[in-house]
Structure 1
Amino acid sequence: MKPLADRIRPERISEVFGQKHILGKNKVLSRMLEYGNVMNMIFYGPPGTGKTTVANIAAKVSDKKFYKLNATNASLADIKNIINDIDRLDSSKGILLYLDEIQNFNKKQQQSLLEFIENGKITLIASTTENPFFYIYNAILSRCSIFQFKPLSNKDIVEGLDRALNILRGDYNEKAISISEGVFELIASLSGGDMRKAIGNLELIVTSYSDLDEIIIDEEVVKNSITEKSVSFNATGDEHYNLLSAFQKSIRGSDPDAAIVYLAMLIKTGDIMSICRRLLVIASEDIGLAYPQAIVIVKACVDSALQIGFPEARIPLSEATLLLATSPKSNTAYMAISKAIKDIESNDIGEIPSYLKDGHYVGSDRLNKVKLYKYPHDYNNSYVEQTYMPSGLKGKKYYNYGNNKMEEATKLYWNKVLGKNI
């Protein structure tokens, strides 16, 4: 018998759970499939969100010969076999190829399809759990419409579980299957937005208790059967970088609660090095001179975390995260170096002033005019006015004081030294 998730698979767009942003009424993908106008498409999103289901529906409404490959185990020979069928009588209206997990095809394998996609003899529907802009050849991308599939809501999954239960009751028609209130919601919450996972868990629970005269599924049974929540937090791939990005932006936005949530999600990936690296970057990029000691404390927390290891490493990582999220913010150091690098890459920087050049060799005074150098510590406040900037960048300004207590105090000090009005 087929797995329950395959038996419950919708056969019409109206039966697909979720994805209303692309499959709702008058949405472009639903209209395309309604009228059988199947074009080259890439479906992008996490597992169990309907990508394969929609591809199967597209195959049914199309009048093309349908082939399905999984790039995990398919080869160039498999593609050639499909290409060889193009001019056969039963393929006269073209071929529809569904290529699952296309990110596992290398550039050569993807390019082998390009000619036939261009002349319309092959219509490609590809699916991937990774960002297509990172993994799919640009020439393929430019010829496909990209549709993003999102994790299903608990409400969507509950609807799917209800439909699945009706099928299971048919399988066990001699037995009563009772579901306590709130059980479907619990299974949905443990599925991580993955319909296939949720239905598989329901099937597992029912099968495990099928030796009983009556199958009663309550919250205790679910918790005993599903040992942990299904999570899609991986240490590699697009979602991992999304988590790191959300983590940094929450700290930058001074939201300690959101930052801790993303830290918890990152901890679940087990990738301690990425967390530590990101915390160290944030300390300089987003807090910077507003609280210069932050990087010292974060470095100590990071070193502690690396020495301790998980699970206890979560504690110093939490300390560092909360410190950064609640610290005053300044990106002046980041902006200054970014502007400077941009200028030296695009402008003629000219000569370094001769008196700033190395003078620790015999005869240097004849070449570099070292004697013209004014030693700042010989002057009041260890400051004397002289040109330090290379000749091509003279007058350029890269550092602007930030609007925070620390940098404002520094600005006040230098305004007094320089005799400026404030």
Structure 2
Amino acid sequence: MVRRESEQADSLFDTPAEEAQQANAPLAVRMRPRGLDEVVGQEHLLGPGTPLRQLVERDVAMSLVLWGPPGTGKTTLAYVVSQATERRFVEISAVSDGVKQVRAAIDVAKRELGMGGRQTVLFVDEVHRFNKAQQDALLPAVENRWVSFIGATTENPFFSVISPLLSRSLLLTLQPLGDDQLREVIRRALTDERGLGGAAELAKPAEDHLVRLAGGDARRALTYLEAASYVAPNGAPIDVDVLEKAVDRAAVRYDREGDQHYDVISAFIKSIRGSDVDAALHYLARMIEAGEDPRFIARRLIVHASEDIGMADPTALQTATAAAHAVEFVGLPEARINLAQAVIHLSLAPKSNAVIRAINEAGGDVRRGLVGPVPPHLRDAHYKGADKLDHGKGYRYAHDFPGGVVEQQYAPDAVAGREYYHPTRHGMEARFSDVVERLRAVLRGRRAD
């Protein structure tokens, strides 16, 4: 797609055919921002003094890699950059195009640059789908600045974009839109002449449901809104029933800032704690379908892995943490599988709250003032003059003794002999229960071996 060169002031389009084509375009395309100031969200990239705004305002040659989830504005930013800098805009899709199309676009860009000095923005959507050879074909144009390359990817560019191309480009990370930002996009589409032009009205509960369904994806929000506008009876507002019919998704009663949010997450954690895997999966699905932030769910799983399982199954924390990483790297909807695996693991794992009880008891003693000075033999003895203060004197180096354990006081006098960790006999913690008893016996001189 090559952006028009006309400078007519009376029309946004070159021809009546182009105007008709735009009128029939999807709502998400019609509502694409025409300038940086119309872009919703991504303030960290578009604020005053940011690299992207400076590059646009100074109209310098640039190469960018835009990384973010679907519907966050990657294509929009590429188009707006070309508009704001008065450059030709050529779009190539890595899904359907190949090296032939890339080279043809570069050849035209070189001619334009050589004949009239006009630069070209070459936008490659889904650039991660190009193999190494295809990405290599972009390098000469990027290196010689025959084009301003902008690549869009939903995959981690450090794994999916070749290093030479990435090192010659400015990497910008886009974030999912927040609820308020999605509402702004939706309300603008309802009233703007390019959108629905006031021909449709969206009820507040339906707007809430639409925001949840969108999940931070502006394109999805506008696609669902457009579908609902076709289903709604003439003159009738779009309510939840209409929206459900349009997108075939039932509204889940769930307020991310109200009672439902807290009630469901509470039931979710208590179901895992109670080892009811089926109930836990139900609440997980309920939160996901309602548009709950998957990072919030992942954080709760990480906490639960230590709070209610702990040393009874030390691998539970690893599984929960891996699921959280998967949420960041993969995103929904696929990451729901990783979250489900973690929920199943945690639900079926043996339970112990010994870890949280241990840190709570230790913290309670500290708050009550049971601290005391560090024993002299444990203090830092690496600086000059420490020996004069008897720092480190009498310290017994554990590795010099059988088993790497020796009788010695480590805690301050105020809490010497206090025991915070009381392991259960559940799962692997039964083994640690035996270990901690043997260690305490040696440390406190109750046995010689």
TM-score of the two chains, using structure 1 as the length reference: 0.59
Q: Aligned pair in 2 of structure 1 residues 27, 78: CA closer, same or farther (>3 Å)?
A: same
Q: Name the structure 2 match of 1:227.
A: 248
Residue in structure 2 matched with residue 105 of structure 1 by the alignment = 130
Deviations 1:264-286 (A, max 9, x none): 379979xxxxxxxxxxxx9xx98
1:31 pairs with one of 49, 54, 60: 54
Distance in 2, matches of 1:87 and 1:201, equals 41
How far has the Cα of 1:329 moved from its partner?
8.0
Would the alpha carbon gap of residues 162 and 181 (structure 1) be closer, same or farther in structure 2, given more than 3 Å must change? same
Contact 1:290 1:404 in 2 (8 A): no
CA apart distance, 1:78: 0.8
Could you report, residue by residue, the CA deviation over 1:32-52 in whole angstroms, capped at 9, with x for unpaired residues? 223323511111111111111
Give the letter for the 1:72 counterpart. Answer: V
Where does the alignment leave 5 or more consecutive residues of structure 2 unmatched? 1-23, 252-268, 290-301, 320-338, 356-400, 406-419, 424-428
Is 1:128–2:153 an aligned residue pair? Answer: yes
Separation in structure 2 between the aligned mates of residue 113 and residue 140 of structure 1, nearest angstrom:
8
Residue by residue over 1:248-304, the C-alpha shift from the partner in whole angstroms, topping out at 9 and shown as x without a partner, is: xx9xxx9x9xxx6999379979xxxxxxxxxxxx9xx98999326999xx9xxxxxx
Q: Which amino acid aligns with 1:8?
A: M
Deviation at residue 61 of structure 1 after TM alignment:
2.5
| CA distances 1:36-94 after superposition (whole Å, capped 9, x unpaired) | 23511111111111111110011123354432101011111111212322441455444
Structure 2: how far apart are the matches of 1:290 and 1:97? Answer: 54
Aligned to 1:203: 226
Asked if the contact 2:309/2:351 (under 8 Å) is kept, the reply is: no
User: Are 2:290 and 1:264 equivalent residues in the alignment?
Assistant: no
Tell me, in whole angstroms, the C-alpha distance in 2 between the residues paired with 1:288 and 1:419: 29
Query: Counterpart of 1:413 in structure 2: which amino acid?
Result: R
Q: Indicate the residue corresponding to 1:327 in structure 2.
A: 352
CA 1:171–1:317 in 2, change beyond 3 Å: closer, same or farther? closer
Question: Quick check: 2:244–2:250 contact (8 Å CA) kept in 1?
Answer: no
Equivalents in 2 of 1:294, 1:327: separation in Å?
13
Cα deviation, residue 184, structure 1: 2.0
What is the correspondence of 1:37-76 to structure 2 with a 5 Å cutoff? 37-76=60-99
Offset of 1:17 from its aligned partner?
A: 0.8
Pairing 1:17–2:30 present: no
Query: Partners of 2:192 and 2:62 in 1: how far apart?
Result: 34
Match of 1:82 among 105, 113, 122: 105
Q: Alpha-carbon deviation of 1:139?
A: 1.0
TM-score scaled by length of structure 2: 0.55
2-side partners of 1:315 and 1:120: how far apart? 47
Deviation, structure 1 residue 141:
1.1
Q: 1:194 to 1:75 in 2, by over 3 A?
A: same
- Decide whether aligned partners of structure 1 residues 397 and 7 sit closer, same or farther in structure 2, where only a CA change above 3 A counts: farther
Q: Quick one: distance in 2 between partners of 1:220 and 1:126? A: 40
1:116/1:215 Cα in 2 relative to 1: closer, same or farther (>3 Å)? Answer: same
Residue 26 of structure 2 is aligned to residue 6 of structure 1: no
Contact 1:190 1:229 in 2 (8 A): no
Counterpart of 1:153? 178
Aligned to 1:127, the other structure's residue is in SS state: strand
**Shift, 1:142, TM fit:** 1.0
Could you say which residue in structure 2 is the equivalent of 1:181? 204
Question: Alpha carbons of 1:321 and 1:59: their partners in 2 closer, same or farther (altered >3 Å)?
Answer: same
Corresponding residue for 1:362?
none
Contact in 1 for aligned 2:27/2:195 (Cα 8 Å):
no
Q: Quick check: 2:113–2:146 contact (8 Å CA) kept in 1?
A: no
2:358 is aligned to none
CA distance in 2, matches of 1:64, 1:172: 30
Secondary structure of the 1:47 match is: coil
Number of residue-to-residue matches in the alignment: 298
Cα distance 1:108–1:18, how it changes in 2: closer, same or farther (>3 A)?
same
Residues 14-38 of structure 1: per-residue CA shift (max 9 Å, x gap): 1111111211233332232233235
What do the CA deviations read for 1:141-162 (whole angstroms, capped 9, x no partner)?
A: 1111111111111211111111
Counterpart CA distance in 2 for 1:129 and 1:178 is 33
Code of the aligned partner of 1:133: F
In 1: Cα distance, 2:153 partner to 2:208 partner: 28
SS in 2 for 1:124: strand
* Aligned AA (2:144): N
- Report the more deviating stretch, 199-208 or 25-34: 25-34
Shift of 1:111: 0.9
The residue matched to 2:40 in structure 1 has which SS? coil
In the alignment, is the contact (CA less than 8 A) between 2:35 and 2:80 conserved in 1? yes
Partner SS state of residue 11, structure 1? coil
Helix, strand or coil: the match of 1:178? coil
- 1:215 partnered with 2:236: yes
Residues 292-311 of structure 1 aligned to structure 2 (within 5 Å): none
Letter in structure 1 aligned against 2:151: A
8 A Cα contact 2:94 2:125, kept in partner: yes
Q: 1:228 to 1:416 in 2, by over 3 A?
A: same
Pair 195,416 (structure 1): closer, same or farther in 2 beyond 3 Å = closer
Secondary structure of the corresponding residue to residue 214 of structure 2: coil
- Report the Cα offset of residue 121 of structure 1: 1.7
- Output the amino acid matched with 1:161: I
- Aligned partner of 2:188 in structure 1 is 163
Amino acid across the alignment from 1:17:
V
Q: Matched residues in 1 for 2:195 and 2:87: separation?
A: 35
